[in-house]
Chains A and B, each alone.
Chain A
């Protein structure tokens, strides 16, 4: 489905769409307030951008350094070229330990690789332990937002999901009681899981350690209780030095939710005695994006979702209107890297207002990349024929003064009729302006003749 068709569905309930917009705008406003409390905010963004730029230019070296140091710390390091290899690796580790139940803290990479269905196929139960993730998992839906996976649901709807899956009383929508129910439910799984899987927010080449940021402590509960801890990371998660963490940790939570920092920013350096720790380093198309110079900067993304919250299109069309598991502006530049044809409409789901670029803590030129993808996608033949025809006709007409005057004259004569008929998407909701008697050029030529 194209973005515009999905957005049309979302907009069928204008009150709900307005609520979605307001909810996310509140997050954006909080982000603004918290960023304003850091006087050196713009310097931090610049530092983060430069560190990432530098890291991407020497990615292979830093990855190798990370892998060597991690291995020396006693972590088992695995490499995966694609999602399948990642899933097979995770499964083989679980199989070796005879694991039947995996508790997973939110990891967009495992969404990307479709890990859950793969493991479930092999009889392993996967419990998403982030509250929002657990809610959408109950619903058998993907997250609609990378930081707030169930942000599209109202409280009462969450109550219904809990009623159905956790047996809470019907109609219960008190957040405290719902959270308590979820906590008890998840606790039972933490205690009985055979293995835990976490994502990685930052992997430090210098130390071989990695950092996982959560607000609920679910990554820690899982990793600290289970005998096996698997961490899945994309190759772009690397940063060179421990000292750089300060820059990113200060930016991440403020950009994401407006918190000074996530409640838990846990540093994992080596397995605790008796535990086994694995790290799976995944490419899955990232090195292809790295080689596309126009888009390589998209790999600097730290997944804060600030660009989602600020995006007026995302706020009014919802996460499910995007065809990729990472929605929003950044998703729209990552998606065509994976499959141009399948995600052809995503880079067009933007007014190019540039708010995403201005808000991004690592200064990714998101809207410029969206515009570039539009050229690449049409050049690859993924534009509808009528759009192509319309654009070539326009280009032809505007360069020929006589034809342009004639076309303009005709258009100005027909605007009242178009406003009346309301057949095209413009006039269905908007009037075209009343046609002036004279064009600017006509007026200007008269002026010049008078002189």
Chain B
């Protein structure tokens, strides 16, 4: 089975180590992984800004390039949610073959152990699109049995200690272009998110969504540079050393 790996535009350009960790993790688990040349973006920034029509071309590119795969995996919950919802609106069968990384590992690959090690106190930021959109976990608003796919995966990592949080799934305030057009509220939300992690002694904030981490990491580097962000793929792939230098390329 060959997997199509979708690395969204901002991860490609700014966080190659996340794509690399995802690729490494999936190949190490025995999957054949391919990355088609063309699609760079899922079209979400345009859609969330009210220009879904302008972003529709991205979806066309995606559907063309990835149609040949049974499973498509991406390390970005919000991009996957956008792809799923938009493809479903077009009645495309592809809609049900796109997976966020944790979703894929948990539901499809059904991993129950990982050779990873990350001896640190880690706070899990459950990104909203992953949590409420993709159902990667139970949202705190709903009275359903508690579960979290990313947390289950993180518990397979040796030495990793998950810290509890006061507000277990409050939004970090990124929200795509919201972070720019509503920057006051966005920044205030991000700072509160960070404080919650600091209060509980986290050394790292992790998430299945690099965009949330881009926002939180950007705030951290100004106010609490001792704390770092790590995409969950980096932790699950055990690439701590690689990622440590911030560039992450061997």
Contacts and interface: CB of A to CB of B under 8 A. Distances in A.
Nearest to A424: B180
- Chain B interface extent, by class: 35 or more
A274 interface: no
B48 interface: yes
B140 A408 contact: no
B97 to A, nearest CB: 21
Nearest to B23: A444
A399 interface: yes
A17 B184 CA distance: 11
A441 B181 CA distance: 30
Interface in A224-276: none
Interface stretch (A85-93, A108-116, A130-138, A427-435): A427-435
A353 B181 contact: no
A354 interface: yes
State the majority secondary structure of interface residues on B: helix
Given A310-B141, A355-B141, A436-B247, A391 B49 contact: yes
Interface stretch (A149-157, A210-218, A375-383): A375-383
Contacts of A432: 14, 218
Contact of B174 (A11, A351, A438): A351
B173 A312 contact: yes
Given A358-B142, A391-B49, A443-B20, A408 B219 contact: no
State the majority secondary structure of interface residues on A: helix
B180 A425 contact: yes
Contacts of A41: 143
Contacts of B4: none
Interface residues of A, number: 75
B43 interface: yes
Interface string B21-40: 00100000000000101101
A383 B11 CA distance: 28
A81 interface: no
A318 B76 CA distance: 31
A187 to B, nearest CB: 39
Contact of A355 (B14, B132, B143, B190): B132
Given A8-B184, A316-B188, A438 B170 contact: no
A404 B182 contact: no
A394 B46 contact: yes
A359 B142 CA distance: 7
B139 interface: yes
Contacts of B14: 412, 432-433, 435-436
Interface stretch (B51-59, B101-109, B153-161, B198-206): B51-59
B184 A7 contact: yes
A378 B50 contact: yes
Interface string B149-179: 0000000000000000001001101111111
B188 A351 contact: no
A104 interface: no
A25 B246 CA distance: 36
B20 A408 contact: no
A313 B181 contact: no
B13 interface: yes
B143 A36 contact: yes
A42 B144 contact: yes
A325 interface: no
Interface string A360-402: 0000000000010011011100010001100110110011010
Interface in A20-54: 21, 25, 32, 35-36, 38-39, 41-42
Nearest to A404: B40
A391 B175 CA distance: 16
Nearest to B172: A351
B50 A411 contact: no
A354 B221 contact: no
B17 interface: yes
A355 B249 contact: no
A391 B51 contact: yes
29 contacts: A7-B182, A10-B184, A11-B184, A36-B143, A38-B143, A312-B171, A316-B185, A316-B189, A351-B171, A351-B173, A371-B47, A374-B48, A375-B52, A388-B51, A395-B43, A395-B55, A399-B57, A399-B61, A401-B38, A404-B40, A426-B218, A434-B247, A436-B17, A436-B247, A437-B249, A439-B16, A440-B15, A443-B19, A444-B19
Interface of A: 3-4, 7-8, 10-11, 14, 17-18, 21, 25, 32, 35-36, 38-39, 41-42, 310, 312-313, 316-317, 348-355, 357-359, 371, 374-375, 377-379, 383, 387-388, 391-392, 394-395, 398-399, 401, 404, 408, 411-412, 424-426, 428-444, 447
Given A431-B222, A433-B246, A440-B12, 5 more contacts: A313-B185, A359-B141, A375-B50, A375-B53, A437-B247
Interface of B: 7, 9, 11-20, 23, 35, 37-38, 40-41, 43, 45-55, 57-58, 61, 128-129, 132-133, 139-144, 167, 170-171, 173-190, 192, 214-215, 217-219, 221-222, 246-249
Closest 10 CB pairs of A and B: A351-B175, A430-B218, A440-B19, A378-B50, A374-B50, A353-B128, A353-B171, A354-B132, A398-B41, A425-B183
